[in-house]
Each structure stands twice: as structure tokens, then as C-alpha cells.
Structure 1
Amino acid sequence: MRREELLDAAEGLLSDQGSSALTLAAVAERAGCSKGGLLYHFATKEALIKGMVERLIEEFDELVAAQGHDTYTKNYLAATFAAVQSGRLRRWAVVTGASGNLYLLTPLREAMARWHREGLESEPDPVAARIVRLACEGVWDVASHDPGLYDERHYAELERRLLDLLGG
């Protein structure tokens, strides 16, 4: 059993059933492996949640870096909509799993602070950049709670209007 498959199983469990359902036995069952197989990769529930948080941060950083825009905020905006529209809404599930444990939330809080400070000094309009980044957080939350609320057309309109706010 690969580490990524175990993380996928844990995220799926969190998304479908919430944090109270996140047990090592339930994750192993969902992943189709023994509890020992899970424990080989993640010795504790906290280690599993930490792995989900780390993966979320790493993948979002990679997605932002892969965008080809001229400012960090435009890259952040494009990455947000790409992530939300891909159907991989693990962010809310991971936060739910880590909630209540400041140790587990610390890396996510640090990443959030970095994402919201990154490159502001080089933005043509730092206030507009902050507004767009905050709007991206709202997009994440709404899409996480009600994935079917907006369709591709709505997301395209929202992204275009936020891009207009940035002047491009």
C-alpha cells in the first residue's frame, strides 16, 4: 500500500463522514489494507493528519508555481480555481481533520500566512491583490461545503472578474 493511497483514503473518509470517523482502522479498511500496513507509514492518527496537511501545502505550492502569470496573485488565483474545479476538495477535509489540534494546524496556518504575504510588495495594487487572495479563500470554502453550487461557467466568470480587479 502506497503512502499516497492511504492519504487519499483518509481524505475521502474525512470528506464523506467528518472528523469523528477518522480512525486508523477506518482508514485502513477504506484503503483496503491491514492496520499494520497503515501503521508502517503512519504510526499515529496525528502522523496521518500531519501527512495530509503537508501534502496539501506541497501540492498547492506546486500548483501556484506551475501557473504562468506575471504576478504571484494571478498565479494564486489561477491555482485556486484549478484546484477547486478539479474536484479535489481535500483542503476542507484536511482542515476538519486537523481542527482542534494547534500542532497539526500550525503548518497550514504558516502556509496560509505565506500565501497571503508572498509577493505583495511587487504587486501593482497590493490592496487589490489582498482582496483577490481573500476572495480565493471564500471560493475554497463555498466549493468545499457545496461543490455543486457553481458550475464551470460561474467559476470562469468569477475568475475573470477577479483577474480584472488585478488589472489583467
Structure 2
Amino acid sequence: MRRDELLDAAEALLQDQGAQALTLAAVAERAGVSKGGLLYHFSTKEALVKGMIERLIADFDALIEAQGESTYTRSYVAATFEAVETGRLRRWAVVTGAAGDPALLAPLREAMARWMRQGLDDEPDPPASQIVRLACEGVWEVATHCSAIVDFAAVRARLLALL
């Protein structure tokens, strides 16, 4: 079994049953592998959560890179809305909710700092770019809890207009 399939099983378990259900035995059962097969890739629950967080960061980095916009902030906006519109947002909510230990979220905090700083000096209006990036974080938060109240297309258009 591949590492990503184990991470998928862990995320699905989190989404369906919550953080309290995340055990190595439950993930192995969900993935259809022996506990030993899971332990080969993830020796502890913390290693599993760390793996999910690392994958989130890599996925969002790749999503930003794939946008091909004229500035980093435009790519960041496009990646944010693509993640919201395709349901990738749910993955973030369940994984970060499962971390429990603030130390496990350190890589995510470091990635967030990088995403907020990256390319700012190359932007036509760095303060506006920073405001737009921060607003995207608000989009993530609202979309996680009550997405029906937001017209995402209108918000996206307005954020891009600020740039």
C-alpha cells in the first residue's frame, strides 16, 4: 500500500468520525492493511498526522505553482479559490483539527509565514497584496464553517481588483 493511500484513509476517518477516532488500528482497518503495514510508513499517530500536514503544505504549494498567474498573490488567490471550490478545504479542516499537539502544526505555521511573505517585494503594491492574502485566509475560515453565506465568485473578483 502506498503512503498516500494511508493518508487518504486517515483523512477519510477524520472527516467521517472526528479526531477521537484517529488511531493507528482504525486507519489500518480503513485502508485495508495490517497494522504492521501502516507502521512501516508511520510508526506513531504523531507521524501520521505529521505526514498529513506535510502533504497539505506540498499540495497547496503545487496548487499555487500550477496557477501560472502574473504575480505570486494572484496565484495564491487562484489556488485558494480552487481549493475551496474543489473541496480540498475539507482536508485542511479535518487534518488541522486532528493535530492536537501544537508542535505538530509547526510546519504549517512555517508554511503560512512563507506564503504570506513570498514574492511581496515583487508585487506592484505590497500592502494590498498582503491584505488580499490575509483575506484569503478569511475565505478559508468562512468556507469551512458556513460557505453558503459567501458569493465566492464575487469575493474572488473583488480581491483580484484590489491588486
- Give the structure-1-normalised TM-score: 0.90
Shift of 1:38: 1.1
Q: How does 1:135-150 map to 2 (within 5 A)?
A: 135-146=135-146, 149=148
Secondary structure of the equivalent of 2:87? coil
Shift of 1:16: 2.5
Alignment match, 2:96: 95
Q: How does 1:2-151 map to 2 (within 5 A)?
A: 2-88=2-88, 89-99=90-100, 101-146=101-146, 149=148
Deviates more, 1:13-22 or 1:101-110: 13-22
Q: Work out the number of aligned pairs and report it.
A: 162
- Cα distance in 1 for partners of 2:162, 2:83 equals 21
Q: Indicate the structure with greater helix content.
A: 2
Shift of 1:150: 5.6
Query: What amino acid is the match of 1:149?
Result: A
Shift of 1:160: 0.8
- Cα distance in 1 for partners of 2:19, 2:54 equals 18
- Cα distance in 1 for partners of 2:42, 2:127 equals 42
Per the alignment, do residues 17 and 141 of structure 1 end up closer, same or farther by CA in structure 2, a change over 3 Å counting? farther
- Cα distance in 1 for partners of 2:138, 2:124 equals 23
- Cα distance in 2 for partners of 1:124, 1:95 equals 33
Residue 156 (structure 2) pairs with residue 159 (structure 1) = yes
Name structure 1 gaps, 5 residues minimum: none
- Give the structure-2-normalised TM-score: 0.92
Query: What amino acid is the match of 2:160?
Result: L
Shift of 1:132: 1.0
Query: What amino acid is the match of 1:8?
Result: D
Shift of 1:144: 2.1
Per the alignment, do residues 61 and 113 of structure 1 end up closer, same or farther by CA in structure 2, a change over 3 Å counting? same
Percent identity over paired residues? 66
- Cα distance in 2 for partners of 1:18, 1:141 equals 18
- Cα distance in 2 for partners of 1:108, 1:69 equals 24
Secondary structure of the equivalent of 1:124? coil
- Cα distance in 1 for partners of 2:84, 2:32 equals 27
